Amino acid sequence: MSKKTVFHIDVNSAFLSWSAIYRMEVLGEELDLRTVPSIVGGDQQSRHGIVLAKSTPAKKYGIQTAETIQSAKRKCPNLIVVPANYEVYVQQSRRLNEILKKYCDRVIPYSIDESWAEFEGFEHLYGDPVEFAQKLKKEIRETLGFTVNIGISTNKLLAKMAGDLKKPDMVITLFPDEIEKKLWPLPVGRLLFVGKAAEQKLKSLGIYTIGELANADLSMIRAHMKKQGEAIWNYAWGRESEGMFEEQGENKGCGNSITTAEDVTDKNLARQILLSLCETVGMRLRAEGHKTSCVCVGIRTSSFENSTRQMQLDSATDVTEEIFETACRLLDRVWDGRKPLRLFSVSAVRLTHDEYRQYSLFEQKDYEKLEKCNKAMDSIRARFGEGAVMRASFLKTSVSPTSGGLNKAKRQVRQTGAGKREQTSEEKKENLQRPIDISKQGKI
């Protein structure tokens, strides 16, 4: 039986690189943003000017992803700031995966700028993996105009960590017999899925490197960190957990998350953020013909503590209002308002195509009307853009009516697919300036 070889392909400074290429090749600009201090900045109204990506020259000024644009400009007054263009990013991601699919049947996207390629019998197909990876990297650069890192190993976990060892524009192996030399000397915070809270916990146990974690007593790790401790202990040995990077099949679920620029302490603001996430989750469910029978809400505090809660629904639904009401109940269970929050997520899981609804004698809401209203909103957004219609409760807030930048781009690409005319920039601008209010008295 031939062994499996896994490539992890990661685009270097993806949003910045893709923005630079688009602005030169499509807009005709001469300046390559990758050669000067520059950043891709988030929507200043909805995300308070967050740094989404930065050029290599910008890194020399200490600019960090997720800091505010104001902070970045204080570090580098001549910093060039360009807006994100998610539709371009989705198109570039697809072009990258199309190249990978020429050589491999199993291409598994991990995020918009990362994919795995799994090969069986690699040595019989392409020979030496490092030599082939160098050729693949060169083809991507010459064909698409951007550079990538390629990590090589025998499973997805090690391949991804290999690609993170050194950047940019590198091919790096991390096979099981290289773990002790290449992986173990690194700080424990460099291990995949070890966040700041877990890192601090490990340091309190006297564990500072990945090697110290790997050689620590598992029962001690498990006693202090439960299942998470056992999982990351195995990761330090290069062992994947079952279903760790499972592909998202048709019925896995859909969700959205957002990291806020400022800590959230007000419960009304937290609910507003949840509504914007529920709006996009509901749109995705209806676009794909699914209903959810279980809603999950996740939060992360400013001290990087994560909590999640989920609730089974009496009837499967794709109604935004129903998803939102459930999300609010879950938020009340998971958060008492004392610790500031920096991340919110809403997921719809246990999807179904069922059309029936279990009605209660005491139910006052007309869900049939809500379903029709939601579909009408979807139709308007599909034709005129997502900014064409919003709920009145968003009119005087800084929260986006539909949160989730990448998923927004995917929705727009889906809505303007084959056989549908793409709007011109002038049409989009005109429609975005003409919102339609279908809410009553400022309610959802």
AA letter at 335: W
> Which entry of 114, 279, 371, 386 is annotated as an active-site residue?
114
Q: Quick one: pLDDT at residue 380?
A: 86
Q: Collapse the DSSP code of 50 into the 3-class scheme (helix H, G, I; strand E, B; otherwise coil) and give the result.
A: strand
Q: Quick one: pLDDT at residue 363?
A: 53
AA letter at 191: L
Q: Quick one: pLDDT at residue 93?
A: 92
Q: Quick one: pLDDT at residue 118?
A: 92
Is the full-model pTM beyond 0.85?
Answer: no
Domains in the chain with CATH codes: 4-10+101-179 (3.30.70.270), 15-87 (3.40.1170.60), 187-236 (1.10.150.20), 254-437 (3.30.1490.100)
Residue holding tokens 């959802």? 444
**d(C-alpha 92, C-alpha 97), whole Å:** 9
- Is 30 marked active-site? no
DSSP per residue over 249-287, as a string? Answer: -TTS-EEEEEEEEEEE--HHHHHHHHHHHHHHHHHHHHH
Q: Quick one: pLDDT at residue 321?
A: 92
Q: Quick one: pLDDT at residue 358?
A: 53
Q: How far is CA 156 from the centre of its chain?
A: 18
Question: What averages of pLDDT result for each successive group of 10 residues across the chain (444 residues)?
Answer: 85 94 94 95 58 91 87 93 86 94 91 90 85 96 96 96 94 97 96 86 96 96 89 94 59 73 87 91 86 90 82 87 93 91 88 61 66 87 76 78 56 40 37 36 36
Number of alpha helices (DSSP H) and beta strands (DSSP E) in the chain: 16, 14
Q: Which helix (H) or strand (E) holds 302?
A: none
Q: Which helix (H) or strand (E) holds 82?
A: strand 80-83
Q: Quick one: pLDDT at residue 101?
A: 94
Q: Quick one: pLDDT at residue 300?
A: 86
